[in-house]
Chain A
Amino acid sequence: MVKEKRRLFSGKDVLIAVAAIGAAVALYFVNAGEKAGTAVIERDGEILYRVNFSTLSQPVTYKIDGEYPAEVIAEPNGIYFASASCPDQSCVHMGKLRKTGEIAVCLPARLVIRIEGENKSSSTDAMTG
């Protein structure tokens, strides 16, 4: 009886390796968009508040005065315009920002909330339209 020559890697091993590498790649892509470290609340380009998500254990409400008062809520997993007294409400409709590079703008109040970070979740540099 001739003993079959053992290969270094069997089919099963390759499968495990592929799965492990696949998991690593998936993890990389998930991380790229969700490394939400800090968010900023700005008016006219000036930073009013900087929010560090890692220090939040419960929601924090920021009340912003002005011609169109607004309320921004920061939670451990995101930040959003909870209410605004502007006519179009498009800032409120943007919903919760969770990923790096996401932004919500209130044009009448000249307010911006955005998530800072190095790895933008969006593949584009700007939008036209």
Chain B
Amino acid sequence: MLKKLAVSILAAAFSILLCSSCGGSATKETPLEQTGFVMGSFVEQTIYPKGDLAQEAAKEVTTRLTKMEQLISWRIQDSDIAKINQNAGGQEVAIDALTFTLLQTAKGVAINSGGAYNPAILPLSMLWNVDDEAFIPPERQLVEGLLASIDSGKLVLDEEKQTAVMTLEGGAIDLGGIGKGAACDEALKIYQEKNIPGAIIAVGGSVGVHGTKANGKPWSIGVRDPKKSQDTALGQILLEKGCVSTSGIYEKGQEIDGVYYHHIIDSATGFPADSDLVSATVVHDSGAISDALATACIVLGREGALPLLEQYGAGAVLIDQNNTIYLVGDMKSSFELASGDYHIAQ
């Protein structure tokens, strides 16, 4: 009888211990969570610890990202990019320093990737308009007719004057391919300025991390399973700093007459990219660069992507059509696979 009592007390003490430890650490780690929308994407900020400083930083991020959208969205009349597009083939346009820096970054990745990432693809992506409900594949002739209008080399930037001009008439710039990553960069700058101990921001599929969580563990970022719903991860990346972006052909795709069409257009052919990769997750200190490189990887395929990733010192998780995962750079030690449907290439 006594023994049974002793056992029960032991078990009760153990369960109390478990519960008290979970309660204590959770209070210390409570973050502020702030949601919002920018550039057609969902924004989620998680800032540690919850309080006035976190609130102030979250608000500042929301304000700065909205301002950024006003500058770089081609859809917004009077944005810097809209002005460049309206003046294509004509006059130089004076632009904000942020727009200028982003155009420089975009042009750099365009050159280094041989056009696999192309900030001047807008005329063609508008023709495709894959995410339209009433999507019909365009005629080959129309597609090929636009190949001459998507040359990002015709975007001329003048650093001294802070101006830009698309010298090609009918040409048009779209920074959507780096906008989400660039939004993460802006947020991280603000967290730094405000001395926030730890914060993570997700803008669409791009994520940026700053500082550390209260428990000192690295941030854990789930990599979406290309074959499952949006909130299902196939594994996770452990990240201490920088940004992660993912491009995948599973997004905004449509199947018509047995052919799968997706939104990542290959500038070389004018058609949706047809490489061995279905998803590319790229890690880099710069969110804008990680975003642009992720798109470039899908177009280039694994073999073509490797030298580009190496040039930028970027880590990557590349997934091909046979459910094989290729880990590049840092990701060899920072990625943990959690799904049995995939295997990591040795």
Q: Is the CB of A45 within 8 A of B35?
A: yes
Contact B35 A119 (CB under 8 A): no
Secondary structure class of chain B's binding surface, majority of residues: strand
- Choose one: B3, B15, B36, B220; the contact of A124 (CB below 8 Å): B220
Question: Cβ of B4 < 8 Å from any Cβ of A?
Answer: yes
Establish whether residues A125 and B279, one from each chain, have CB atoms under 8 Å apart when the complex forms.
no
Instruction: Tell me which residues across on chain A come within 8 A of B226, comparing CB atoms.
Output: 129
Q: Once bound together, how far apart are the Cα atoms of A23 and B10, in whole Å?
A: 13
Would you call B40 and A107 a contact (CB within 8 A)? yes
Stretch among A49-57, A58-66, A75-83, A110-118 lining the B interface: A110-118
B86 an interface residue at 8 Å Cβ cutoff? no
Query: B103 to chain A: closest CB distance in Å?
Result: 25
Q: What's the least CB distance linking B2 to chain A, in Å?
A: 9
Which residues on the A side are within 8 Å of B207 (C-beta)? 126-128
Q: Is B44 a contact partner of A126 (Cβ separation < 8 A)? A: yes
Q: Name which of A27, A28, A123, A126 has the most chain B CB atoms within 10 A of its CB.
A: A126
How big is chain B's contact interface, by range?
35 or more
Is A30 part of the binding interface, using a Cβ–Cβ cutoff of 8 Å? Answer: no
- Are A127 and B37 in contact, with the CB atoms below 8 A? no
Closest to B226 in A: A129
Main secondary structure of the interface of A (DSSP, over half): mixed
A8 surroundings in chain B (CB, below 8 A): 3, 6
**B230 contacts the other chain (Cβ, under 8 Å)?**
yes
Within 8 Å by CB of B200, from A10, A42, A44, A126, lies: A126
Q: CB distance A110 to B37 under 8 Å?
A: yes
The interface residues of chain B lying within 8 Å CB-to-CB of A114 are 33, 35
**A67 CA to B230 CA, complexed, in Å:** 24
Interface 9-residue window, one of B19-27, B161-169, B295-303, B305-313: B19-27
Residues from chain B with a CB closer than 8 A to the CB of A125 are: 46, 200, 209, 213, 219-221
Expressed in whole angstroms, the minimum distance between the Cβ of A12 and any Cβ of chain B is 10
Q: How far is the CA of A97 from the CA of B122 in the complex (A)?
A: 38
**A41 CB to closest chain B CB, in angstroms?**
11
Contact indicator B236/A124 (Cβ below 8 Å): yes
Closest to A104 in B: B231
Taking Cβ atoms with an 8 Å cutoff, the residues of B that contact A are: 3-4, 6-8, 10-11, 14-15, 18-19, 22, 26-27, 29-30, 33-37, 40-44, 46, 62, 133, 200-202, 205-207, 209, 213, 219-226, 230-231, 233, 236-237, 244-246, 248, 279, 281
- A–B Cβ pairs within 8 angstroms, 20 of them: A13-B7, A28-B18, A45-B62, A107-B40, A107-B42, A114-B35, A118-B29, A125-B220, A125-B221, A126-B200, A126-B201, A126-B219, A126-B221, A128-B205, A128-B224, A129-B205, A129-B222, A129-B223, A129-B224, A129-B279
The 4 closest A-B pairs by CB, nearest first: A129-B224, A20-B11, A24-B15, A124-B222
